[in-house]
Amino acid sequence: METIAAADEVVGICRDLLRIDTTNTGDPRTTVGERVAAEYVAAQLGEVGIDAELMESAPKRANLVARIPGADRSRGALLLHGHLDVVPADASEWSVDPFSGEEKDGYLWGRGAIDMKDFDAMMLAVVRDWARTGYVPPRDIVLCYTADEEAGMQYGSQWLVDNHRDLFEGCTEAIGEVGGYSYTVNDDLRLYLVQTAEKGLDWLRLHATGRPGHGSFIHDDNAVTNLADAVARVGHHRFPTVVTPTVRAFLEQVGDALGIDIDPANPEQAIAKLGPIANLIGATIRNTANPTRLEAGYKDNVIPGRASATIDCRTLPGEADGFLATLRELIGPDIEIEHVHQQPAVETSFDGALVDAMGAALRAEDPGARTVPYLMSGGTDAKAFATLGIRCFGFAPLKLPADLNFASLFHGIDERVPVDGLKFGVRVLDRLLRNS
Ligand SMILES: [Zn+2]
């Protein structure tokens, strides 16, 4: 196995990043560390002569962008992006201090170890190695470190896209989370899931009105009852399955790799045959609408004039309009719908030179590697960057132990990344970038 300087360095960089608490609570008053982490990245880049621009979207909400000129500047640039914030961790639930960056049992432990300070560190390690050895990549590489991915992106990628789109000039493709990690089929075959699509998000608030009144009277126009009827209809509705191009490709290719007969026309049955990966994609074959909040009333014996509820809706690429029409029907004409927060679904095709280079870079390091596209039910910074017309991929390469329940580590207790996997990722990333 070839060793490169970046593979030696990546573990230390990842540990440093894990030790910087960048908890994003969703409340700017209690969100910490993003500025410190961005300054750390800037210093690491500065040390090898790479200038970076550090920008605050709000006090301490720092984002950082650097451009590394490529050999052929007429080609489209490749954006590499990672968020520096993490979700909160309750130390009492963990077996180690979540911000200690402790290394034990072959893993680096800490909040953000796989989401996504691992990839943040890989990017840094690769470009530092290049700068020290004078290597010039084939085309421009734009490095971007963001704040606020974990709580809506308005202080991070969305803010950058709205206010500094010039920094992404010429970027045609982007690589970020969540993908590139292995799922072991057997000793000779590992599937590496590359994210090519994300569901859209639409947080709706329903507002019902009625006639206010005393709780002791007969009352036929109660806002709470009107709202509850609509919420129950939405909550009980099961949207039909829809197989998008990405999910179809995923099912066909995984079925082929596993040697099982999969019928994309019957996606539920197909997914049930997939074992542990079923979890990951179970929600990617239908739109969903889950009621999450209810608000009404101020006194036990007063019927309020208004009541409201929040519905967390997730839509498949190309499905938003039809979905909304169905929802409108379920909710009924008398209830007002407010769109609180919307992010469109994104999808790109699984083809082209960059996709081929991903597969080749993986196979060079793992002869049993096979790439498979997938659609993610959640969202990432890719949603913001895709609005610039950039093709976005989730590819933060990691070779994982066969028995690791990787999906449960995202935002989970005892989040950790295998040290060998991290070094593997750096080698794959370095190889990919040199050949793309
Ligand atoms: Zn993430």
CA distance 67 to 144: 9
Reported as type and span, the H/E element at residue 161 is helix 157-163
Contact 264, 281 (CB under 8 A): no
CA of 24 to the centre of ligand 1 (A): 12
Determine the pLDDT at residue 133: 95
CA of 121 to the centre of ligand 1 (A): 14
CA of 213 to the centre of ligand 1 (A): 48
Helix (H, G, I), strand (E, B) or coil at 364: helix
CA of 410 to the centre of ligand 1 (A): 8
CA distance 323 to 312: 13
CA of 86 to the centre of ligand 1 (A): 8
Determine the pLDDT at residue 1: 45
Within 10 Å of residue 122's Cβ, how many Cβ atoms? 30
Determine the pLDDT at residue 265: 81
CA of 273 to the centre of ligand 1 (A): 28
Q: Give the list of residues 6+ apart from residue 140 with CB closer than 8 angstroms, or none.
A: 67, 68, 69, 70, 73, 75, 77, 78, 170
CA of 71 to the centre of ligand 1 (A): 31
Listing DSSP states for 4-22 in one string gives -HHHHHHHHHHHHHHHS--
| Tokens coding 12 | 């230390």
Terminal Cα distance for the chain, rounded: 22
- Rounded to 5°, angle at Cα 408 from 404 and 413: 100
Determine the pLDDT at residue 276: 67
CA of 231 to the centre of ligand 1 (A): 31
CA distance 159 to 58: 10
CA distance 20 to 41: 11
Buried b (16+ CB within 10 A) or exposed e, 26-60: eeeeebbbbbebbebbbebbeeeebebeebebeeb
CA of 218 to the centre of ligand 1 (A): 52
CA of 119 to the centre of ligand 1 (A): 10
Helix H segments across 177-263? 223-236, 245-258
CA distance 373 to 242: 17
Mean pLDDT by 10 residues, the chain (436 residues): 75 97 91 94 97 96 97 96 96 96 96 97 97 96 97 94 97 96 90 95 96 91 96 96 90 85 81 73 89 96 97 94 95 95 92 97 96 92 96 96 84 94 97 96
CA distance 146 to 80: 11
- Rounded to 5°, angle at Cα 132 from 131 and 134: 60
CA of 176 to the centre of ligand 1 (A): 9
Tokens 């002869």 map to which residue?
Answer: 367
CA of 87 to the centre of ligand 1 (A): 9
CA of 177 to the centre of ligand 1 (A): 6
Tokens 């969100």 map to which residue?
Answer: 31
Task: Describe the strand order of the beta sheet including 103-104 as a list of residue ranges.
Answer: 103-104, 107-109, 416-418
CA distance 175 to 70: 17
CA of 266 to the centre of ligand 1 (A): 31
Cα dihedral 402, 407, 410, 412, rounded to 10, equals -90
Handedness of CA 237, 241, 245, 248 (dihedral sign): positive
- For 205, list phi and psi in degrees, rounded to 5: -115, 130
